[in-house]
Amino acid sequence: MSGDRPTMPPVRLPSDAELARDALSTPLLSRAAKLARWAGEEGTPVGVGGELLDTQLRAATELLGLTDDEDGPAYAAEAWQHALDTGLVDFTEHPDEPADENLPAGVAATGEELATLTSGSPADVLDLWLGGLESVLADAAAPDLGAIAEQLAEGEDLDLDSLDWNPEEEADFLDGVLGNLYLFTALDESSADRPVPLPALAASMIVPDDMDEPTDDVLEEVSDAMMRLDDQFRMLALTGLVAYRPVDESLIEEIDGEGHIRESVDGVDSDSPEDEDVSRYGMVTLTPLGVYAVRQRMLDAGVDAPAVGDLAERGAGELLAALPGHPEAAARAETELWVARRAPLDAARELLAAAHGADEDSPRRRLFCQQALSLLGTEAEPALREVLDDRELGGLARVWLAEHGAADVPEPDEAMVFWLTVDTIAAQLAADGDSDELRALVTDLVDRHSGFFDSVWRVDHPATAEVLEAMGRLHPDKKAAKEARKAAFKARSRR
């Protein structure tokens, strides 16, 4: 992998079959398919560009069961356009232009792609769904059509500058928002049970990381972005990309009139928002189908966007090297899939061989090796016994054997105990830095072993000095912290 290639945390995805079923049940595609069947193989006369004529639009709205919805005709028109965009419906234009826009300009008939939905493979269905999504994303990033129509109706030339709209910037902004949602999902910070508040999502794109308190101008930008995203997410929810709870309609009026957006952003940043219920400002999360779609778009853009399971057929070395970049749940799922594809004894031997090393990443490899070994049963015992005399692996082998109730496990000598201690602390330092958990571990170790620092500085481990320096920072007792720093100096001098 190229060092300058952007890398995302791995995501967990359902099977293609499950995703295809989700795609087929999304409101926009299912409505489009229904209208494609309604068009029939013989076709039906339609207006310019394949648009439904007024009488047909009323019929389509009724067919979709949307007559009681004030937005029903708009939803029906969107579904029909989606059918055209995805090839579910084919439009053949008449050679002569109609004299009246309310007269037929061509014929629309069931398209070849409709068969994909009924007899295509899951991959075929997903490809069709993705193609339709691209059209909706383009529409979502488009300017307000009302403003354009107003300009054209007044006989003016179309002036994009006056619309305050830059197509590339709008598309990039929406891509960035979806990228942030993807990241929240990959890091287990967003799910169906934990949607992201719209103010927080908008702020993540606009408020600088080093800004402690957003200025009024920045908050106004966040407010404008929220209104734009509210419209876009309403559109995208119909594709199944996101699950979205829209901004409260009455609150939009309040925001426009009274500037309550500042309170919403402040509320999201606080632990207990009081002025407004944050959910009223909109809540959004990527669906599993949405995670799949955003990942596909990232892969097409050259982003390294792994999925859990990508490493299942790779060697143990690649597995242990990659796991430190995984969120905890994803790391466990990836490890379980890797282990499940191997015989326990073979898996143990491969993991132990890959855990060797004196490089700076080796302590974390051994930590993840230990976690992977914990998933193996007693069939793996011979592999652990084979490394009992290994300086780097003998300690963790004894831990595994003891946890699995093995008999005749030899006691480790003092050198091995201290080596394993240094290795464990080095791994935790690399993973979490100076954490409270590590502080507690350091304190407990020193309290339980008199003369700890007199012995540990002699440990022949590449991270000994760094570990002792960390212990000097972490230990709450000033005397013990000073002893740790002195021991770190000795360890460095010993090199």
Q: What is the pLDDT of residues 19-45, one digit of tens each?
A: 999 999 999 999 999 999 999 999 999
d(CA 439, CA 209): 28
Two structure tokens written together for 151: 């300009």
pLDDT digits (tens, 9 = 90+) for 118-153: 999 999 999 999 999 999 999 998 876 555 555 555
pLDDT (0 to 100) of residue 146 = 55
pLDDT (0 to 100) of residue 448 = 85
pLDDT (0 to 100) of residue 145 = 57
pLDDT band at residue 257, thresholds of 50, 70 and 90? Answer: very low
Comparing 5-9, 86-90, 328-332, 483-487, the range with the smallest average pLDDT is 5-9
- Nearest CA-CA partner of 422 in 331, 352, 358: 358
Mean pLDDT of 382-390: 97
pLDDT (0 to 100) of residue 265 = 46
pLDDT digits (tens, 9 = 90+) for 185-209: 998 776 778 899 999 999 999 998 8
pLDDT digits (tens, 9 = 90+) for 321-341: 999 989 889 999 999 999 999
b vs e for 150-189, b when ≥16 Cβ sit within 10 Å of the residue's Cβ? eeeeeeeeeeeeeeeeeeeebeebbbebbbbbbbbbbeee
pLDDT (0 to 100) of residue 447 = 86
pLDDT (0 to 100) of residue 75 = 96
For residue 278, what is the DSSP state? G
pLDDT digits (tens, 9 = 90+) for 296-316: 999 999 999 999 999 999 999
pLDDT (0 to 100) of residue 165 = 62
pLDDT (0 to 100) of residue 276 = 53
In 52-121, which ranges are continuous DSSP H helix? 54-63, 72-86, 114-119
For residue 232, what are the contacts with CB-CB under 8 A and spacing of at least 6?
140, 141, 174
pLDDT (0 to 100) of residue 258 = 40
d(CA 418, CA 428): 15
Largest CA distance in the chain: 99
In 301-327, which ranges are continuous DSSP H helix? 316-322
Q: Are the C-beta atoms of residues 322 and 354 closer than 8 Å to each other?
A: no
- The distance from CA 28 to its chain's CA centroid, rounded to whole angstroms, is 23
Mean pLDDT of 270-287: 72
Report the amino acid identity of residue 57.
L
d(CA 145, CA 277): 32
Report the amino acid identity of residue 45.
P
pLDDT (0 to 100) of residue 2 = 40
CA distances from 40 to 54, 111, 112 (A): 19, 9, 12
pLDDT (0 to 100) of residue 160 = 56
pLDDT (0 to 100) of residue 264 = 45
pLDDT (0 to 100) of residue 22 = 98
- Nearest CA-CA partner of 38 in 68, 67, 23, 58: 58
pLDDT for residue 416 is more than 80: yes
Which residue carries 């080093």 as its tokens? 210
pLDDT (0 to 100) of residue 494 = 76
Mean pLDDT of 388-406: 95
pLDDT (0 to 100) of residue 277 = 77
* 186 three-state secondary structure: helix
Mean pLDDT of 4-19: 88
d(CA 340, CA 132): 37
pLDDT for residue 162 is more than 70: no
d(CA 215, CA 283): 24
Comparing 100-114, 116-130, 478-492, the range with the smallest average pLDDT is 100-114
pLDDT for residue 260 is more than 50: no
d(CA 114, CA 289): 20
Pairing of strands 196-197, 106-110: unpaired
Element (H, E) at 125: helix 122-140
Two structure tokens written together for 188: 């287990």
Q: Are the C-beta atoms of residues 68 and 51 closer than 8 Å to each other?
A: no
- The distance from CA 279 to its chain's CA centroid, rounded to whole angstroms, is 21
Percent of the chain whose pLDDT exceeds 90: 71
Element (H, E) at 89: strand 89-93
For residue 488, what are the contacts with CB-CB under 8 A and spacing of at least 6?
457, 465, 466, 468, 469, 471, 472
d(CA 494, CA 465): 10
pLDDT band at residue 275, thresholds of 50, 70 and 90? Answer: very low
356 φ/ψ sector (left φ>0, alpha ψ -120 to 50, else beta): beta
Which residue carries 């080596």 as its tokens? 419
- Nearest CA-CA partner of 82 in 26, 130, 29: 29
pLDDT digits (tens, 9 = 90+) for 204-254: 999 988 887 888 888 888 888 898 899 999 999 999 999 999 988 777 664
Element (H, E) at 222: helix 216-237
pLDDT (0 to 100) of residue 12 = 92
pLDDT band at residue 155, thresholds of 50, 70 and 90? Answer: low
* 275 three-state secondary structure: coil
pLDDT digits (tens, 9 = 90+) for 68-96: 999 999 999 999 999 999 999 999 998 87
Which residue carries 């179309």 as its tokens? 158
pLDDT (0 to 100) of residue 193 = 81
Mean pLDDT of 445-474: 91
pLDDT for residue 14 is more than 80: yes
pLDDT (0 to 100) of residue 144 = 61
d(CA 172, CA 188): 24
Compare 278 and 246 and report the one with higher pLDDT: 246
pLDDT for residue 465 is more than 80: yes
